[in-house]
Amino acid sequence: MNGFAAAVVLLGVLWAPISALKGFSLLDPVNGYVTGTMTIDNGNHVVDVHVRSGVFSSDTIFDYSTGYVATRLFSRNACFIMKLDKDRIPELENLGRVAFERETMRTVYSPDNVWVEFQSGHSRLGNLEDWLRYGKPIERLCAGLPLYQLSNIQPPTNTSACANAGIPSILGINICENISGEGY
């Protein structure tokens, strides 16, 4: 019986880092206030980010199992979805490591930034096919909201039509409105 108990304990120790939820407080790099939280679910390959900043609040889901990222901007009452670009967005394991380093070291960092745009007036409500493609976490975030597809862009010269989301001090997602209608 002692051998069985030892095996169960060993499996628990080995399994815990893989399936555990890891939570992080996201600090404002200037004043050190907690501006959001990030939860990493290694078992389901999902990162859930909540940023609370008044009218600029957002929730973002990085679903590494489906390969999509969705951001709900509360100021626009809409969801913005893009393909997870592994060249521009860190791997799941790296997000946890960087978040831990920045949480413990409390040093001001310049986050990586992803610039994306959407075409105003080109939204739609999600359907069953969308939710099967994007996955349950994104469906829970975006159901009932207009969905906009995002495309990668270079940083624009005028950022007044852009909203900030993502993970403060780690990965900025800058969502810009394409008001010219070009590029689609």
Domain count, the chain: 1
Residues of the chain with pLDDT > 90: what percent? 20
Ramachandran angles phi, psi of 182, nearest 5° = -85, 155
Estimate to the nearest angstrom the gap between the alpha carbon of 171 and the chain centroid: 9
Domain contains 73 = yes
What integer is the mean pLDDT of 76-99? 84
Say if 81 falls within a structural domain.
Answer: yes
- How high is the pLDDT of residue 80? 93
Residue 45 domain flag:
yes
Q: Is residue 33 part of a domain?
A: yes
At residue 175, does pLDDT exceed 70? yes
Domain that includes residue 57, residue range: 21-108+120-149
63 inside domain:
yes
Please state, rounded to an integer, the average pLDDT across all residues of the chain: 77
Is residue 173 situated within a structural domain? no
Q: DSSP string covering 56-84, please?
A: G-EEEEEETTTTEEEEEETTTTEEEEEE-
* 7 is a domain residue: no
In a domain, 60, yes or no: yes
Angle at alpha carbon of residue 161, lines to 156 and 163, rounded to 5°: 95
Band the pLDDT of 8: cuts 50, 70, 90.
Answer: very low
Query: pLDDT digit string (tens) for 30-62?
Result: 555 657 888 889 889 999 988 887 777 899 999
